[in-house]
Amino acid sequence: MNPIRHAAVIACLAALSAALQFLSLGMGSELPDHIHYDAQTEISIRDVANLESLPLWVDARSRTDYDRGHIPGAIHIDHGAWDVGLPQLLASWKPNRPIIVYCSSEECEASKGIAERLREGGLEPVMTLRGGWAAWVEVHP
Amino acid sequence: MSLGLYRVAIAVLTAIFSLSGALKVVDPLAFAAVIDGFPGMGRTASVALAYYLPWLELISGCALLLAPWRRGGLLLLATLTVLFSGALVLNLLVGSSSDCGCFGAADSGTSPLVSLFRNIALLGLTILLLRRDLPR
């Protein structure tokens, strides 16, 4: 068998595995129960999976904490580096794509401030992650 | 390339791609969010790719350990690396700082530029091994 045929077999095997995983995780049954986030300002990590669109993450912690680790794809924005972070956010954001801002934990206030500033700038929907980075790490150790 | 060096290179590629695939397989929605950040990607395509690509990477990586399947696996991994690198270049061009999420959540501190250089190095090694394995 030539390498192209082997590659095709591997590709089919991967498609089968992905389909089985998709079905076993019950994604198909969860999709209709979308979270309606129109009037929502805070979201739990559990409800993120049910959003109508995939979220754009904004990390409102310090640059040092962000560099140590962040939610995959998250953009770093804090009040001190607003002019750097905002253009990066706008480059990745699409209309109606939910933005979820998080900071360290339940107690921190930075995410609420950043979320408010983004809303004032006309972006929506913007939410904060309940429990912040600590809640994410709990689910994704 | 000596046989010893060849075996080490195969082991390294197997470890890197299998690990990378496995880390994303366990959390497809986190990877979907990363893909969705790339220009022109919609939710359905992002979710579909987030489920499919990690498995392709994982199985192709494991296929390197089986001599008859090695060339097919190398061919797919080279193609995947080119696609990932192209997406990273596109992201850098539009000014997005989103990382590639190549190693799932474990990769969250890596800049797109570092990811791009890493991909180019992996592509070079994959092509080198592919050329060695092709019949002359």
* Helix, strand, coil share (%) of chain A residues, nearest 5: 50, 15, 40
- pTM as predicted: 0.67
Separation CA B35–CA B54 (nearest Å): 12
Instruction: Report residue A120's pLDDT band, with 50, 70 and 90 as the boundaries.
Output: confident
Report CB contact under 8 Å: B94, A88: no
Helix, strand, or coil (residue A76):
strand
Q: What is the pLDDT along chain B (136 residues), one digit of tens a residue?
A: 788 889 999 999 999 999 999 988 987 877 877 777 676 777 778 888 989 999 999 999 999 999 889 999 999 999 999 998 888 888 778 766 566 677 766 665 567 788 889 999 999 999 999 888 766 5
C-alpha neighbours within 13 Å on the C-beta side of residue B71: 12
Chain A hits for B31, Cβ within 8 Å: 72
pLDDT at A28 over 50: no
pLDDT digits (tens, 9 = 90+) for A88-116: 888 878 777 889 999 988 777 888 888 88
Of B51, B98, B107, the CB nearest to A22: B51
The DSSP symbol for A38 reads T
Higher-confidence residue: A27 or B103? B103
Separation CA A38–CA B103 (nearest Å): 33
Of A7, A66, A87, the CB nearest to B76: A7
